[in-house]
C-alpha cells in the first residue's frame, strides 16, 4: 500500500513538473534561421541574422512560458529545393516551430507554402517579393523588414521629390529586376517624374561601363540600379570611375543595405540613394543594439538583421501571451499585438501578415562627412508604413476580404 | 551628328569599341595563361579563375598588411600567385600527368572551389574595395567618350605582357625547350634538360599571368572571392575559339571577342553574356580546331 502511494506521488510530481510547460510542444521552442550563408547574399543576411536571432532570445531571458528557446540555422544556398528539404527535416524530426529570415524570394515563397501545409509559422525578413503577403499569402506567414513596393516608394517616389525627375534604369534581366524597375518607374511617374530609358543587363555581369555610358548619354537625373548584390556593387564602383556622380547624375540603388555599402567603401558609394527600414545610428536604442551586434559580428546590423531580431522577439512575446506554442494561437497574437521595439515603432501587422513599419530614404555620406566606421547614412526622408507598403485591401491577399 | 553605323551614333560606336577592347584585354591575359598551360601541360586549368581572384586578393592584402601600393603589388602579386601555382603543380598536379586529362580538369575544378570557399569564409561574399593608383586616377575626354586613364593603362599593360609572353615562347631558347618538351619529353630529358622543372615553370607562368590580370582588375571590380568564377567560362570559350593550345590565337581572340561582346551591349544588351558562346558554337561547326588551331 505504502509502495502504491509512493508511486502515485511520484507520478503526480512528474506530472506537476511537466505541467508548467505542458502547452509547449516537445518542451522546447525552436526557431530556425534559414538563409544564404555562402553565396552572394551571405553578408546581406547570413550569419548576422542568426546572431541577431540569438540576441533576441537572450534578451527575452532564454525561456518562454517555462520552456527553453533554441535557435538553429542552415544555409539554403539560394535554392528553393534545398530550402524546402531543410524546412521539412526541421519540422519533421527536429521539433522546429517556426522558420525565419528566408533570403531570396523563390526560397521564401516555397518555404512559406510548405510551412502552411505543415501548419507552421514563417517570418520572412530577407526576401523582397510582395507576393508573400499578396496573392500567395497564408494565415501563418509574416513579412517583416521590406519588400519591392517599399523600395520603389522610398527610392522612386521620395527621390523625385528631392529633384530627381528624369530616370534611366540599369535592370538585371530577370523577374526581380523587371518588377523593381516597373514599380519604381510607376512611383517616379506618379510624383511627376519621367522614365527616359532603360537597358537590361544579364545577371552577374562584370563590366558595366558600356551600360553606364548609355545611361550617361541619356541625360537622366537619376540612374536607377534595378539589380542586387555584386551586380549593384560593380555598377556603382564603375560609375565612380567614369565620373558619373561627379558630373551631376545621381545613382539610386534599389536594393542595397549597410552591409553592401561597407563592402564597397564610401569613396565609391558616396552620394548613392537607397531605401532601408533600419539604420543603427537613429535612436539611443538602435545605437545600443548596433554596438552589441558589432561586438559579436564585427559589423553593424542592416535592416535584415534588425528585422530578424524584431521578428523573433514578437514571436516569443506572442507565445508568452498565448501561453502555448500552438500555431493558430501564436499567429493570432502576432497579428494582434502591436510591434514596438528597436526596429519598428508602433507598427502593426496586417491580416495579410505584412508588418507596416516606417522605411527611410538614405543618402550615403562622403568620406569627409563620415565620422567613423559605419557612419554611412544621412536620412533624407521617413516614409510611414501605410505609404510604404501595399494596403491590406489592395494586397490581393484572400485572407483580407474574409 | 548625321554619321551613324547601324543606327548607332559614331561616338557611341567608338566608345563601345574602346570598352570592348578593355574587356578584351582581360580575356587576352587570362586566355593566354590557359592556352600556355593547356598547350604545354595538356591540363585544362579550371583553377584559372581562382588564381585570378588570388592575384586581386594578394594586391589587397599587400596593401592592408604591408602598406604596399599598386605598383609594388603589380610585380609582387603575380609572383606570389605564380609561386602558389608552382607549389600546387609540384605537390599535386604533377601526379596526374600520365592520366586522362579529365583528372586534371576535375582536380583544378575542385581546387578552385576550395580556394574560393576559403576566401569566402574569411572575407565574406561582398568583397572589399581596392583603390585606384593616384597616378592613374581621373580621365580624359576623347571627344566621343570619357576614358578613365586607368582603363587606358589596362589596354597598354595587357598588350605589353601578352606580346612579351608570346615572344618568350616563340622566339627564345627557353621557349624552344618548352615547346620541345611538350612534343617529346623523354628525348628532351635525354639532352639533359630538366623537364619536370620546365613544366613547373610553365604552370607558374600561367598562374602568374592570371595573378597579373587579377591585380589589373582589382581597382575596377569589387575584389571578391567569386570574381573569378564569373569569368572563367567566358575565358574557356575564348581559348576554344582561338584554338586549344594556340598562344597567338588566344591573344587575338581575347581582344576580338571582347570587342564583339562590347558591341552586342549596344545592339542587343540581353544577349551580351551569350554572344561569345554563340560565336564559339559557330566556330566549332565551321572550324573545329578553332580559328588559329592546327587541324588534327
Would you kindly state where each structural domain of chain B is located, as residue ranges?
10-286
| Of A125, A133, A81, residue with least CA distance to A107 | A81
User: How many residues in chain B?
Assistant: 296
B230 to chain A: which residues are within 8 Å by CB? 204, 206
Determine whether the interchain pair B148/A42 forms a contact, defined as Cβ–Cβ distance below 8 Å. no
Residue A288 touches partner B, C-beta closer than 8 Å: no
pLDDT at residue A18 tops 50: no
pLDDT band at A2, cuts 50/70/90?
Answer: low
Lowest mean pLDDT across A128-142, A177-191, B200-214: A177-191
**pLDDT score, position A5:** 58
- Whole-angstrom Cα distance, residue B229 to residue A217? 31
Q: Which grid cell sits at B109?
A: 575544378
Lowest mean pLDDT across A8-17, A96-105, A269-278: A8-17
**pLDDT score, position B1:** 38
Determine whether the interchain pair B270/A202 forms a contact, defined as Cβ–Cβ distance below 8 Å. yes
Chain segment B49-89, per-residue pLDDT in tens: 999 999 999 999 999 999 999 999 999 999 999 999 999 99
- Whole-angstrom Cα distance, residue B12 to residue A183? 30
| Of A150, A191, A189, residue with least CA distance to A169 | A189
| Average pLDDT over all residues of chain B | 88
pLDDT band at B6, cuts 50/70/90?
Answer: low
pLDDT band at A284, cuts 50/70/90?
Answer: very high
Closest chain A residue by Cα to residue B137: A241
| Average pLDDT over all residues of chain A | 90
**pLDDT score, position B181:** 80
A209 to chain B: which residues are within 8 Å by CB? 19, 22, 151
Q: How much of chain A exceeds pLDDT 90, in percent?
A: 69
How far off is chain A from B119, nearest CA to CA, in Å?
Answer: 11
Q: What average pLDDT score do residues A116-131 get?
A: 95
Phi, psi of A216 (to 5 degrees): -65, -40
Domain A160-276+360-384 has CATH 3.40.50.2300: yes
B119 to chain A: which residues are within 8 Å by CB? none
pLDDT at residue A19 tops 60: no
How far off is chain A from B23, nearest CA to CA, in Å?
Answer: 8
Which residues of chain A does CATH 3.40.50.2300 include?
26-146+283-353, 160-276+360-384
Q: What average pLDDT score do residues A291-302 get?
A: 95
DSSP A170-208: EEESSHHHHHHHHHHHHHHHHTT-EEEEEEEE-TT-S--
Determine whether the interchain pair B120/A42 forms a contact, defined as Cβ–Cβ distance below 8 Å. yes
Residue A34 touches partner B, C-beta closer than 8 Å: no
Q: Most B CBs within 10 Å: which of A213, A243, A376, as the mutation test of the B interface? A: A213
**pLDDT score, position B143:** 76
How far off is chain A from B157, nearest CA to CA, in Å?
Answer: 18
Chain segment A209-228, per-residue pLDDT in tens: 889 988 988 889 999 999 98
**pLDDT score, position B2:** 42
B128 to chain A: which residues are within 8 Å by CB? 263, 265
A173 to chain B: which residues are within 8 Å by CB? 269-270
Residue A237 touches partner B, C-beta closer than 8 Å: yes
**pLDDT score, position A335:** 96
Q: Contact, A377 vs A282, CB < 8 A? A: no
| Of A180, A160, A161, residue with least CA distance to A171 | A180
How far off is chain A from B129, nearest CA to CA, in Å?
Answer: 5
Determine whether the interchain pair B125/A206 forms a contact, defined as Cβ–Cβ distance below 8 Å. no
Chain segment A326-364, per-residue pLDDT in tens: 999 999 999 999 999 999 999 999 999 999 999 999 999
Listed in sequence order, the residues at least 6 apart from B32 whose beta carbon sits closer than 8 Å to its beta carbon are B162, B165, B166, B209, B247, B250, B251, B254
Topology, domain B10-286: ABC transporter involved in vitamin B12 uptake, BtuC (1.10.3470)
Topology, domain A26-146+283-353: Rossmann fold (3.40.50)
Residue A264 touches partner B, C-beta closer than 8 Å: yes
Q: What average pLDDT score do residues B242-255 get?
A: 88
> Residue A149: exposed, middle, or buried by beta-carbon count in 10 A (0-12, 13-18, 19+)?
buried
Strand partners, A32: A72, A99
pLDDT at residue B254 tops 90: yes
pLDDT band at B109, cuts 50/70/90?
Answer: very high
- Whole-angstrom Cα distance, residue B29 to residue B74? 14
Determine whether the interchain pair A263/B269 forms a contact, defined as Cβ–Cβ distance below 8 Å. no
How far off is chain B from A92, nearest CA to CA, in Å?
Answer: 30
Rounded to 5°, angle at Cα A38 from B227 and A204: 35
pLDDT at residue A85 tops 60: yes
Residue A207 touches partner B, C-beta closer than 8 Å: yes
Q: Contact, B210 vs B204, CB < 8 A? A: no
Determine whether the interchain pair A243/B139 forms a contact, defined as Cβ–Cβ distance below 8 Å. yes
Determine whether the interchain pair B266/A210 forms a contact, defined as Cβ–Cβ distance below 8 Å. yes
Q: What average pLDDT score do residues B147-155 get?
A: 91
Contact residues, A window 214-233, toward B, CB-based 8 Å cutoff:
214, 216-217, 229-230, 233
Q: What average pLDDT score do residues A250-257 get?
A: 92
Q: Most A CBs within 10 Å: which of B4, B122, B129, as the mutation test of the A interface? A: B129
Chain A, chain B: beta-carbon pairs less than 8 Å apart: 109
Chain segment B167-220, per-residue pLDDT in tens: 998 899 988 888 888 777 788 888 888 888 989 999 999 999 999 999 999 998
How far off is chain B from A397, nearest CA to CA, in Å?
Answer: 34
**pLDDT score, position B7:** 62
Beta-carbon count within 10 A of A26 CB: 13
pLDDT band at A20, cuts 50/70/90?
Answer: very low
Determine whether the interchain pair B220/A241 forms a contact, defined as Cβ–Cβ distance below 8 Å. yes
Lowest mean pLDDT across A157-171, A284-298, B118-132: B118-132
Amino acid at each position: 500500500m505504502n509502495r502504491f502511494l509512493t508511486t502515485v506521488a511520484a507520478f503526480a510530481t512528474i506530472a506537476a513538473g511537466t505541467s508548467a510547460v505542458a502547452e509547449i510542444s516537445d518542451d522546447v521552442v525552436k526557431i530556425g534561421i534559414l538563409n544564404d550563408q555562402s553565396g552572394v547574399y551571405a553578408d546581406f543576411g547570413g550569419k548576422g541574422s542568426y546572431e541577431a536571432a540569438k540576441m533576441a532570445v537572450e534578451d527575452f531571458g532564454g525561456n518562454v512560458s517555462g520552456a527553453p528557446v533554441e535557435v538553429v540555422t542552415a544555409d539554403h544556398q539560394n535554392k528553393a529545393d534545398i530550402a524546402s528539404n531543410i524546412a521539412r527535416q526541421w519540422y519533421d524530426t527536429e521539433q522546429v516551430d517556426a522558420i525565419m529570415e528566408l533570403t531570396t524570394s523563390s526560397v521564401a515563397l516555397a518555404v512559406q507554402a510548405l510551412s502552411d501545409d505543415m501548419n507552421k509559422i514563417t517570418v520572412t525578413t530577407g526576401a523582397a517579393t510582395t507576393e508573400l503577403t499578396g496573392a500567395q499569402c497564408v494565415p501563418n506567414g509574416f513579412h517583416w523588414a521590406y519588400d519591392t513596393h517599399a523600395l520603389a516608394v522610398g527610392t522612386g517616389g521620395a527621390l523625385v521629390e528631392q529633384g530627381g525627375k528624369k530616370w534611366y534604369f540599369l535592370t538585371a534581366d530577370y523577374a526581380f529586376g523587371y518588377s523593381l524597375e516597373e514599380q519604381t518607374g510607376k512611383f517616379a511617374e506618379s510624383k511627376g517624374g519621367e522614365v527616359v530609358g532603360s537597358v537590361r543587363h544579364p545577371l552577374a555581369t562584370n563590366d558595366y561601363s558600356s551600360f553606364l555610358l548609355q545611361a550617361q548619354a541619356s541625360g537622366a537625373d537619376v540612374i536607377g540600379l534595378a539589380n542586387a548584390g555584386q551586380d549593384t556593387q560593380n555598377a556603382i564602383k564603375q560609375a565612380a570611375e567614369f565620373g558619373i556622380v561627379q558630373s551631376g547624375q545621381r545613382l539610386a540603388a534599389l536594393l542595397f543595405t549597410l552591409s553592401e555599402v561597407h563592402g564597397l567603401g564610401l569613396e565609391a558609394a558616396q552620394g548613392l540613394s537607397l531605401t532601408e527600414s533600419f539604420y543603427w545610428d537613429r535612436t539611443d536604442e538602435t545605437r545600443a543594439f548596433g554596438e552589441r551586434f558589432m561586438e559579436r559580428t564585427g559589423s553593424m546590423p542592416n535592416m535584415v538583421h534588425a528585422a530578424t531580431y524584431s521578428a523573433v522577439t514578437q514571436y516569443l512575446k506572442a507565445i508568452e501571451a498565448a501561453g502555448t506554442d500552438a500555431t493558430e494561437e501564436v499567429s493570432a497574437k502576432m497579428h494582434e499585438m502591436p510591434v514596438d521595439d528597436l526596429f519598428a515603432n508602433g507598427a502593426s501587422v496586417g491580416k495579410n501578415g505584412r508588418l507596416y513599419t516606417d522605411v527611410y530614404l538614405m543618402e550615403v555620406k562622403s568620406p569627409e562627412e563620415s565620422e567613423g566606421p559605419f557612419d554611412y547614412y544621412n536620412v533624407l526622408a521617413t516614409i510611414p508604413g501605410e505609404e510604404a507598403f501595399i494596403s491590406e485591401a489592395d494586397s490581393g491577399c484572400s485572407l483580407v476580404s474574409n | 551628328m548625321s554619321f551613324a553605323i547601324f543606327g548607332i551614333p559614331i561616338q557611341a560606336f567608338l566608345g563601345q569599341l574602346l570598352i570592348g577592347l578593355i574587356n578584351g584585354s582581360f580575356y587576352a591575359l587570362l586566355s593566354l595563361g590557359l592556352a600556355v598551360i593547356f598547350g604545354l601541360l595538356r591540363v585544362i586549368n579550371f583553377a584559372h579563375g581562382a588564381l585570378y581572384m588570388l592575384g586581386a586578393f594578394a594586391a589587397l592584402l599587400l596593401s592592408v598588411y604591408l602598406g604596399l601600393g599598386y605598383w609594388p603589388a603589380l610585380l609582387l602579386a603575380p609572383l606570389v600567385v605564380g609561386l602558389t601555382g608552382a607549389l600546387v603543380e609540384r605537390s599535386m598536379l604533377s601526379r596526374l600527368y600520365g592520366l586522362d586529362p579529365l583528372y586534371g580538369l576535375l582536380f583544378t575544378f575542385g581546387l578552385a572551389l576550395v580556394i574560393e570557399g576559403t576566401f569566402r569564409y574569411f572575407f565574406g561574399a561582398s568583397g572589399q574595395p581596392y583603390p585606384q593608383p593616384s597616378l592613374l586616377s581621373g580621365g580624359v575626354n576623347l571627344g566621343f567618350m570619357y576614358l578613365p586613364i586607368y582603363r587606358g593603362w589596362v589596354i597598354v599593360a595587357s598588350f605589353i605582357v601578352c606580346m612579351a609572353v608570346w615572344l618568350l615562347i616563340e622566339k627564345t631558347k627557353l621557349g624552344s625547350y618548352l615547346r620541345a618538351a611538350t612534343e617529346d619529353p623523354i628525348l628532351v630529358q635525354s639532352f639533359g634538360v630538366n623537364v619536370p622543372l620546365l613544366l613547373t615553370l610553365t604552370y607558374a607562368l600561367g598562374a602568374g599571368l592570371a595573378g597579373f590580370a587579377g591585380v589589373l582588375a582589382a581597382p575596377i571590380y569589387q575584389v571578391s572571392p567569386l570574381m573569378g568564377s564569373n569569368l572563367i567560362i567566358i575565358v574557356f570559350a575564348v581559348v576554344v575559339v582561338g584554338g586549344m593550345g594556340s598562344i597567338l590565337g588566344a591573344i587575338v581572340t581575347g581582344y576580338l571577342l571582347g570587342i564583339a561582346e562590347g558591341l552586342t551591349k549596344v545592339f542587343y544588351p540581353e544577349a551580351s553574356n551569350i554572344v561569345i558562346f554563340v560565336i564559339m558554337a559557330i566556330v566549332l561547326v565551321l572550324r573545329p580546331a578553332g580559328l588559329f588551331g592546327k587541324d588534327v
